[in-house]
Amino acid sequence: MPSNRSVSDAPITQFINCRILRDHRLQREDLWVRDGRILDPEKLFFDEQGYADKRVDCEGSIIAPGFIDVQINGGYGIDFSQPSEDVGSGLSFVAKKILEHGVTSFCPTLVTSPPHVYHKVLPQVKVHNGGPHGAGVLGFHLEGPFISVEKKGAHPEKFLRTFRSGGIKDLIEAYGSLDNVAMVTLAPELASSQSVVRELSQRGITVSLGHSVANLSQAEDAVQHGASFITHLFNAMLPFHHRDPGIVGLLTSDRVPAGRTVYYGMIADGIHTNPAALRIAHRAHPAGLVLVTDAITAMGLPPGRHTLGQQEVEIQGLHAYVAGTTTLCGSIATMDMCVRHFKQASGCSVEEALEAASLHPAQLLGICNKKGNLDFGSDADLVLLDDELNIEATYISGEQVWGKGA
Amino acid sequence: MRLVILDEYDLASEWAAKYIRNRIIQFKPSAERYFTLGLPTGSTPYGCYQKLIEYYRNGDISFKYVKTFNMDEYVGLPRAHPESYHSYMWNNFFKHIDIDPANAHILDGNAEDLEAECQAYEQKIAEAGGIELFVGGIGPDGHIAFNEPGSSLVSRTRVKTLAKDTIVANARFFGNNLSKVPTMALTVGVGTVMDAKEVMILITGAHKAFALYKAIEEGVNHMWTVSAFQQHPRTIFVCDEDATLELRVKTVKYFKGLMHVHNKLVDPVLSIKDQ
């Protein structure tokens, strides 16, 4: 009886007793879902005279759009950058595990690797929707190898490359194919980088600036050519200097074309960025802040030695170092931890903290028409949270895929 | 006529809501026997809707076997426009209660044939067995629904051109831009409301005081269409103190002296939990 058969046979779910994040604020509204998408209940009422088949009592929880992690290298012992015959199963394993952190879609990230790794790994994973099997894959984030030697961080120097053949040819040579690639992190000071930035942007691939010694003017040029993201702000770039603020200066640059926003990744794990630096970035440019975990193999694992790309890393507490050194090489934080820490450290509102993990990454990737918000027609990828922002349940396409105590 | 005078807006809203609640429960509506309720929009009934929602949430009342008919709707305003009466009813009442969407009727101001829409509306009311209780509000010029001054007191549901006063008063809802205010509306007629078994009219605020005076202390006059209800056998005016400012002292004293009688209509307040 309820759902109008002439429009759709799909059952309608009504989430009641909740506060939903819509139009940048938490509102006392019910959330309606049909066919995996968010439904306009007013239209349902007046046009179809339909109502809900099923009601889910959220007992006062917050409902936010599912989190999107655009930089995650692996976790639970899996390293996406490790070539194997079956990359898919490792990736699926992580995709399923991160549901409990509220992540409903992500960009598996490959650190600098030799061409044969890209050639082997990339063709094995296609962009796909999430579901009970795990979070959806939005496409790879290829961090390197076209980055600066000086700011290589944990990336192995011997595999770094330059655009010596003039640009896109070098990209194809290294990566093999750009299918299923969502984002590339490169250093804009490399010769010929501008044509690469333009070409990638035209193909709909997000260009991120990072692992770089670029000055501000080089960074601004890259933005004008289409770059729209900064990989883990403050990390692996020149420190802020008042006469040349470097890539960090993009946050307040007046050379960003009108109507465009430069986004920046923040590893809000309390280790990679001092809370004061986090506050500086947030206060200077709140609309661009994108929370990323930059999580590595050891996320979800106990302390000890683990493999990241071609290197050994060592976990001590919440720190992950290149083994035997004090160089940070990625985090072992989970997305929900980052959201909580960001809110606590920046003093921002609940809404801002949640949007930094949902709306902003969706805007960055240009997928706002279906993800990163709870607007009518968007995918019903949801997280239910308590007031302390602990995850209570995760939904993909309106279906519960993880639940606390389940 | 009954005139119920409460100290202030919130109490008037609560009184009206309790009255509606008791009337529905006393009626014992069922799948075979629906309670038909006529409904207004605007700022006056807002508090009454809030109370009804509260009663529904507490489990004291259900709208499962209630059919509603709204008084009016603008012509040509998109249904999803925040100022449309569809939006008003959805946001302030329907989405909060258990009414079956098929039983919630509002005139369609975007119908291709507006005349036919109005006739069909009258037909639907008749098919539902007429209106048991019509709740209404009025404008400062004494209009009931969109029956502007000069409307026939035996009018039926029809297209109506709005008075300049109404358009100007509504401009605040349309960014103070007169050109954006709809100039026409579909509205039930005075006669349509008169056919209801019972009519309850909410009047609050000093700006409505003159209209209340015209409604009950002067003669029946089509320039103050609400005055038609002087001829209705069961009409209740529910108002606050401010709305009585233009009434004679003796009128106010007389009806205030009757409050202990009127209060028996809402005390005890009934609940479906007790059935």
**Rounded to a whole number, what is the distance in Å from the CA of A389 to chain B's nearest CA?**
27
Q: Is the pLDDT of residue A319 over 90?
A: no
Q: CB count, 10 Å around CB of B272? A: 14
Distances in Å between the alpha carbon of A52 and those of A15, A58, B87?
9, 15, 19
How high is the mean pLDDT of chain A?
A: 93
**Taking CB atoms and an 8 Å cutoff, what residues of chain A touch B104?**
45
Q: pLDDT of A187-221, one tens digit each?
A: 999 999 999 999 999 999 999 999 999 999 999 99
Please state the rounded mean pLDDT for residues A298-325. 80
Query: Do B86 and A41 count as a contact with CB atoms less than 8 A apart?
Result: no
pLDDT of amino acid B165: 84
Ordered domains of chain B (ranges, CATH)? 2-203+215-246+264-274 (3.40.50.1360)
Active site annotation includes B165 = no
Q: Phi and psi of A293, rounded to 5°? A: -90, -35
Q: Is A347 annotated in some ligand binding site?
A: no
Distance from C-alpha of A386 to C-alpha of B119, rounded to nearest angstrom:
52
pLDDT of amino acid A6: 61
Which residues of A belong to the active site?
A: 294
Residue A51 has its nearest CB partner, among B79, B87, B101, at: B101
Q: pLDDT of A259-281, one tens digit each?
A: 999 999 999 988 888 999 999 99
Confidence of residue A1 (pLDDT cuts 50, 70, 90): very low
Q: What is the DSSP secondary structure assignment for residue B95, as one 8-state letter? A: G
Q: pLDDT of B44-92, one tens digit each?
A: 999 999 999 999 999 999 999 999 999 999 999 999 999 999 999 999 9
pLDDT of amino acid A181: 97
pLDDT of amino acid A300: 83
Q: pLDDT of A136-182, one tens digit each?
A: 999 999 998 999 999 998 899 999 999 998 888 999 999 999 999 99
Residue that wins the pLDDT comparison between A4 and B257: B257
**Rounded to a whole number, what is the distance in Å from the CA of B107 to chain A's nearest CA?**
11
Q: Point out the least confidently predicted range of A147-161, A344-358, B15-29, B63-77.
A: A147-161
Residue that wins the pLDDT comparison between B233 and A313: B233
**Taking CB atoms and an 8 Å cutoff, what residues of chain A touch B106?**
46
Counting residues of chain A whose pLDDT is more than 70, the rounded percentage is 97
Q: What residue in A sits closest to B104 (Cα-Cα)?
A: A46
Active site annotation includes B72 = yes
CATH number of A12-64+373-403: 2.30.40.10
**Taking CB atoms and an 8 Å cutoff, what residues of chain A touch B80?**
42-43
Query: Do B87 and A42 count as a contact with CB atoms less than 8 A apart?
Result: yes
Q: H helices within chain B, ranges in order?
A: 9-27, 46-57, 85-92, 114-127, 164-170, 190-194, 209-216, 249-257, 259-262
Q: Point out the least confidently predicted range of A71-80, A377-386, B63-72.
A: A71-80
What are the residues facing A19 on neighbouring strands? A28, A62
Q: What residue in A sits closest to B93 (Cα-Cα)?
A: A42
The answer to whether domain A65-365 has CATH 3.40.50.300 is no
Write down the catalytic residue from B73, B117, B132, B148: B148
**Taking CB atoms and an 8 Å cutoff, what residues of chain B touch A30?**
95
**Strand arrangement of the beta sheet that strand A25-28 belongs to:** A25-28, A19-22, A62-65, A382-385, A391-396, A399-403
Confidence of residue A4 (pLDDT cuts 50, 70, 90): low
Please state the rounded mean pLDDT for residues B129-153. 94
Query: Do A46 and B79 count as a contact with CB atoms less than 8 A apart?
Result: yes
pLDDT of amino acid A406: 65
Q: Is A329 annotated in some ligand binding site?
A: yes
Please state the rounded mean pLDDT for residues A62-84. 92
A-B Cβ pairs (cutoff 8 Å, strict) = 26
Task: List the domain boundaries for chain A.
Answer: 12-64+373-403, 65-365
Mutation choice for A interface testing from B70, B79, B110 by most A CBs within 10 A: B79
